[in-house]
Homo-oligomer: A and B are copies of this chain.
Amino acid sequence: MIEVLFQHKSIRKYKPDNISDEILNRILLAGTRASTTGNMQVYSILVNREKKLKEQLWASHFKQNMVLEAPVLMTFCADFNRFNKWCEYRKASPGYDNFLSFFTAAIDALLVAQNVALAAENEGLGICYLGTTTYNAQQIIEQLKLPRFVVPVTAITIGYPDENPPLTDRLPLEGVIHYETYKDYTKEDIDRIYAEKESLQQTLDLLKINKTETLAQIFTDKRYTKKDNIAFSKTLLNVLEKQGFMNNG
């Protein structure tokens, strides 16, 4: 299994082949084996295969073509709706309409998502995470008809790969691991940790295309800008409020 972890790469081009129900069920079952808080399983997985709804979701995911091309799109949601209903039918008063409960459920959903992703890759399928899920959570809630206490936190496209990209770079281990306590980064540390990433041919090409001096500027000025982040922060906090998770006493 360690090979599956080490061979992971995001797949953005898919063959049109469908995923059999047998494989789909096995992947989903593997997802449900993940640890969840108190074994409450406060998540849901939405599985989309039909064209009509996938076209709507494609728009929510910034029209990334892989959403249309992949035979399956899965959306992982923090979900206290089912648990709350269970409580209510069992003479119990749920107190899960707050931020901690949302975050607890989001953790559940994300650990399940990674299990599903790895189980899919183990079957020879390729996956790609969609960060756009939180950006357009409100639209996705409407498209998937998610009730109160259900919030989408991530999504993946799944299908048979029609590309074989190289492994992407990673920071060296020392860049992300701290033993005992956090050792903050000096300029020399930052230079050393980012040296490999900054010297990749791919990085040099990006600088040319984007006409920027540094790679960091591509992130701050083009890909993940303050303006977008603030707009999406407001949307996401509004979604949490609207879905019932911001009654913090």
A166 within 8 Å of B (CB atoms): no
A139 within 8 Å of B (CB atoms): no
Counting contact residues on chain A (CB < 8 A from B), the size range is: 35 or more
Interface pair B33/A6, CB less than 8 Å apart: yes
* Further contacts, 19 of them, CB under 8 A, given A89-B187, A101-B224: A1-B118, A28-B173, A33-B170, A35-B117, A46-B179, A48-B179, A81-B185, A86-B193, A91-B217, A95-B226, A95-B227, A98-B229, A99-B233, A99-B236, A103-B236, A107-B153, A111-B114, A145-B182, A147-B182
- Chain A contacts with B in 153-199, Cβ cutoff 8 A: 153-154, 168-171, 173, 175-182, 184-185, 187, 190-191, 193-194
Interface pair A95/B41, CB less than 8 Å apart: no
**Alpha-carbon distance A144/B99, docked complex (angstroms):** 24
- A246 CB to closest chain B CB (Å) equals 9
A215 within 8 Å of B (CB atoms): yes
**Alpha-carbon distance A113/B47, docked complex (angstroms):** 24
A60 within 8 Å of B (CB atoms): no
Q: Chain B contacts of A104 at CB under 8 A? A: 131, 134
Q: Chain B contacts of A182 at CB under 8 A? A: 44, 46, 144-147, 150
Residues 120-142 of A, flagged 1 when their CB comes within 8 A of B and 0 if not, give 00100000110100110000000
The chain A residues found within 8 Å of chain B, CB to CB, are 1-6, 8, 10, 25-26, 28-30, 32-35, 37-41, 43-50, 53, 79, 81-83, 85-87, 89-96, 98-101, 103-104, 106-107, 110-111, 113-115, 117-119, 122, 128-129, 131, 134-135, 143-147, 150, 153-154, 168-171, 173, 175-182, 184-185, 187, 190-191, 193-194, 213-217, 219-221, 223-227, 229-234, 236-237, 247-249
Q: Chain B contacts of A40 at CB under 8 A? A: 219, 224
